[in-house]
Amino acid sequence: MPSSRPYVIGIAGGSGSGKTTVIDKILENVSENDTVIFQHDWYYKDNPHLSFEERADLNYDHPDALETTLLIEHLKETVAGRPVTAPQYNFSEHLRKNETRLVKPQKIIIVDGILILRDKELRDLMDLKIYVDTDSDLRFIRRMERDIIERGRTRDSVVNQYLNTVKPMHDLFVETSKRYADIIIPSSGRNAVAITLLIAKIESLLFSNPRQE
């Protein structure tokens, strides 16, 4: 458990923008024992009363598709030094899994998601807000590769979803939330200077307040 209040970093950006790249770079340089990650994607609402076809037709890129209030509650608990049991989501079935994830407090808490900067109550829990800015064509290619390989989607379903919900919702909710960011990282999360500065900031926090064993 941290010896003082954790430092909360929000990492936002469009789907396929490179948020995972930024997080991976952080974890390469900072011990995982000092860091914990909340993914907004874990908090998709459960709709077991709907058929698979009905669930597949839902707009998963709209803020209403996510139980953000539960994420806020869990983040507050973790910041206060208490572990929480976070939901997990099956993207192939569009349902929450039976399994959950125990999230324990650490000195650095990372909140990852395309819509995390839109909600003021969630933003107010963050000490540093980052937006990863990436060209839309590259984001689409990355999303297609991820959804086909990791989530069992077909090419046609990915294209249809992108045109019908992903792009419109990005323009309406994600892109407009960029104005709340403290730092905007260009170049798909591979901007070496920005990443170096971010890691230096995190390391300074850990060094100034070392873990008490």
pLDDT tens profile 67-89: 999 999 999 999 999 999 999 99
Residue 1 pLDDT grade (very low, low, confident, very high; cuts 50, 70, 90): very low
Pinpoint the alpha helices (H) of 30-171: 52-56, 68-79, 120-123, 136-151, 155-161, 167-169
Per-residue pLDDT tens for 138-161?
778 888 888 888 878 888 888 888
pLDDT of residue 29: 86
The β-bridge partners of 107 are none
Q: Is 204 helix (H, G, I), strand (E, B) or coil?
A: helix
**111 within 8 A of 8, measured Cβ to Cβ:** yes
Nearest to 129 by CA among 75, 173, 183, 177: 183
Could you tell me the domains of the chain? 7-204 (3.40.50.300)
What predicted TM-score, i.e. pTM, was given to this entire model?
0.86
Q: Percentages helix, strand, coil for the chain, rounded to the nearest 5?
A: 50, 20, 30
What is the torsional sign of CA 56, 57, 62, 65?
negative
Nearest 5°: phi and psi at 53?
A: -65, -40
